Structure 1
């Protein structure tokens, strides 16, 4: 009996390691590959394949239930793996319906001019991340997990390394959601722009911020530059970018300002119009932003004069105008 338990334990460990090794295969799926598959065989065929996948999953669960029963008879503690086949079929049907909705929302072709931000804090259009855990069935849970991973990938600095079991399973790129975001942001895709827009307009304490090199890539995507054809002209370069809390700040390098000039962008739905000169620009998701550049400002630095009095050295520097007031604090 002890020998049999040892064999079963080793088999279980081999199976677990095999699943972990298969993670990169799933992570390699990109937004473009999913859309190409839909375009090649049609939505109906893809939906049929997903339904078959769910039925195979149910069969796997039934086999696992039998194995659990056998192990329980050997005295090995196991978890409860399910009830009737009818209940499992209902769960599969609900998950299949949610998967179709998730696929059409995230992988539909074309660029939308409307904002379809995901919302990690709950609320918002379509329920966002904050809807009930089982909302939308199994596909709803998977969809929220994918988008949460994408947000985490965007807001985690590049030099941060994943650790522990989460790092082993999800990988440094944030699992499937992280790989989809990375592929989408390089091409200015809708998925990446929706994630960026959610962080840009979200609460910093809940969503975090995008900074560093990731913020530079994110801003190129969010402002529509990444979606332009190769060789496009007059594309600015960005430095020291930070995105979050309804604001986007950084330094913009153009032919007019080759040394770089500081800029600030403020979400029009969250901030009042700023004082001084500004322009209104629109991001790839259709959101309106007030944009200001640094202006000449007199800066005074005090020093002690020979007679013991305090005098000032004056110089002209470029500084951003004061940040406009938030509408929710008026």
Structure 2
């Protein structure tokens, strides 16, 4: 059994479950608090006028089209909602991989406790949230044309602080669950594993690890992708580019780490099996050459030797088709293309912003 840690609720999940609503409805309510309704509430508490509050929210930049100001908070609210759902999805995905991961260990799954015990760590989630907050706060917030005003009334400041804290805890939890899970898979791939025989499983039993890594990466970039769109199209503030770039880069690095550590074991196992088959083929061929050419061998022995030879050749062909990665190479190349595309787009905008173009 996996330790209780990955099965334990994260900070955000605990907050949502306290509402006693179904998780999806609780996530929707919390995303509304952090999204458009929450922004309107802060503006209303600060100005006492819903019209002025709406103007602040929907026209954050004087030099941008009006539709971007309307679409921006709506997209942000949807992204936050999906992020809350993804946090639980990623944690549950790890928990459900329990049996398959345990079957590959040499200790019956005991080592999984030490590998994944930080996934639901409250301290780690809060530390990640604080790190993100400090990093973003230190970035310059001086985009020309911005109409965003810091709330001044005590009620608005209190509401803004609460909403901001919840937002950063949500983002920090999302990033931490993704990173800690893939880092755990990286550590898992470095320890001795009981890989399956290639005749039993073409992926040597590592399909669950590859599937888990790929699923988490897709879930992660399903959040990062819309955020990138929002940052590049709707919000022209370079702060958004600078914030996203390390998250995109880190997400890709963390995805490839488990694959590299597992690739080494799969490659070693594959080469070992290939050597065994080649040795058996050489031995069988040598025995044939040593046969006395004048001695007639009975038909059953000849047929038996031919069957052995064909089976070895078939195994040799099968081994050539066994991948040395936990999923097809085309899948890896496809993901790499998506990752590099997002990274290049952000890097280009960062350079243009730095050059004031």
Rg larger for:
2
Into which bin does the TM-score normalised by the smaller protein fall?
Answer: under 0.3
Whichever structure has more strand as a proportion of its residues is: 1
Whichever structure has more helix as a proportion of its residues is: 2
**Structure having greater relative contact order (Cα 8 Å, sep ≥ 6):** 2
Query: Please, what TM-score do these two structures have when normalized by structure 1?
Result: 0.27
